[in-house]
Structure 1
Amino acid sequence: MTKTQITQLSYDIIGCAIKVHKELGPGLLESVYEMCLAYELKEKGFIVNQQISTKINYGKIEIETPLKIDLLVNDTVIIEIKTVESLLPVHQAQLMIYMKILRKPQGLLINFYTDNISKSMIPLVNEYFTKLPE
C-alpha cells in the first residue's frame, strides 16, 4: 500500500466512527462501540479483524500475551477504542507498541466519550509508514 491509500483508508474509518458516534452518542462501553464500528466498516467492504491476540518475540522465544488489538482494518490500520474522559499519553504508547508488534504503519486512537470524534481522535504513524511510497 501507499501512504495515500493508507491515509484514505483512515479517513474512511473515521467517517464510520463518526457515524457510530452520531447514532449512539457517548457513554456506552468500549465493546459496544467496537462491535458497531466493525459492523459499519464491514458494510463498507473492509476486512475487519477484532480482538486480535498479540505475540511478542523476547530473546529466542515467542510469547503469547493477553494483549488484544481492538480492530485491524484491511490488515493495515489498527484501531484502539477508548471511552475515557480524556486520552492520556499511555493510550498513545499502547497503540504505538501494538503497531510495532504487528508491524502496521498506522493506528487510530478513537475516544467515543467525546462530543466530537474528529477533534479528539489521534492518528499515529511509525517507521513502517515513512518507508512506504507516496
Structure 2
Amino acid sequence: MHEGHQGISPVSSAIDQIGRRTLNAAFAVHRALGPGLLESVYEACLAQELGKAGLRCQRQVGVPVTYDEVRVDVGYRIDLLVEGSVVVEVKSIDALASIRTAQILTYLRFSGARLGYLINFNSVLLKNGIRRVVL
C-alpha cells in the first residue's frame, strides 16, 4: 500500500469509512466473479455493488487538467468516483506497476480527492491486488 507523502494529514474518518465500504464492495465482487475477466466487467459490477451499499458512484468521470489558467480536457477518466471523494481505478492485469500509482496520484491531484484505490481484480487473493493511495 502507498500512503502518499510524509507530512500530509491523514484523510478524515468519514472519507476513510467510504474507503472501507468501497473495499468491502470490491471483495464482494471478487468473491462472486473471481479473477480473469475484463476491467469493464469489474467496473460495472463494482458500481452496482456500491449502489447496493448505499454509496453514490459515478463511472468514467472526466478529469480536466488546468495549465496556464486554461482548462484542457485530455481524456483522463476516473473509473469510479465514490461519494465524490474516493477515486477507484479498476485493473485486471498481471501485476500493478509503479506507473499505475503515478496514474492515480494524477487523478487525485486534478480531481481534488485525497483517497484513492488501485484494485487489480486479476489477483487470486484480492487483498494482494489493492493499493491505497493518499494525497
Task: Using structure 1 for the length normalisation, give the TM-score.
Answer: 0.90
Are 2:50 and 1:77 equivalent residues in the alignment? no
> Which of 1 and 2 has higher RCO (CA within 8 Å, sep 6+)?
2
Misfit runs of 4+, over 3 Å: none
For residue 119 of structure 1, report the CA deviation from its aligned partner.
2.7
Code of the aligned partner of 2:120:
N
Show structure 1 runs of 5+ residues with no match. Answer: 127-134
SS in structure 1 of the partner of residue 90 of structure 2:
strand
**CA distance in structure 1 between the partners assigned to 2:129 and 2:64 by the alignment:** 29
**CA distance in structure 1 between the partners assigned to 2:81 and 2:116 by the alignment:** 9
**CA distance in structure 2 between the partners assigned to 1:65 and 1:40 by the alignment:** 29
Contact persistence 1:85–1:113 (CA under 8 A):
yes
For residue 55 of structure 1, report the CA deviation from its aligned partner.
0.7
Are 2:124 and 1:122 equivalent residues in the alignment? no
SS in structure 1 of the partner of residue 73 of structure 2:
strand
Q: Out of 17, 30, 42, which is 1:8 matched to?
A: 17
**CA distance in structure 2 between the partners assigned to 1:4 and 1:60 by the alignment:** 33
**CA distance in structure 2 between the partners assigned to 1:120 and 1:20 by the alignment:** 14
For residue 98 of structure 1, report the CA deviation from its aligned partner.
0.2
**CA distance in structure 2 between the partners assigned to 1:119 and 1:4 by the alignment:** 24
For residue 61 of structure 1, report the CA deviation from its aligned partner.
1.1
Contact persistence 1:14–1:118 (CA under 8 A):
no
Are 2:56 and 1:47 equivalent residues in the alignment? yes
What is the RMSD computed on CA atoms of the aligned residues? 1.0
Deviations 1:84-108 (A, max 9, x none): 1100000000000000000101000
Deviations 1:10-56 (A, max 9, x none): 11111110110111111111000000000000111111000011111
Please state which structure has a larger fraction of its residues in helix.
1
Are 2:34 and 1:25 equivalent residues in the alignment? yes
For residue 60 of structure 1, report the CA deviation from its aligned partner.
2.6
Task: Using structure 2 for the length normalisation, give the TM-score.
Answer: 0.89
Q: Out of 96, 100, 111, which is 1:87 matched to?
A: 96
**CA distance in structure 1 between the partners assigned to 2:62 and 2:27 by the alignment:** 26
- Counting matched residue pairs gives 125
**CA distance in structure 1 between the partners assigned to 2:47 and 2:85 by the alignment:** 15
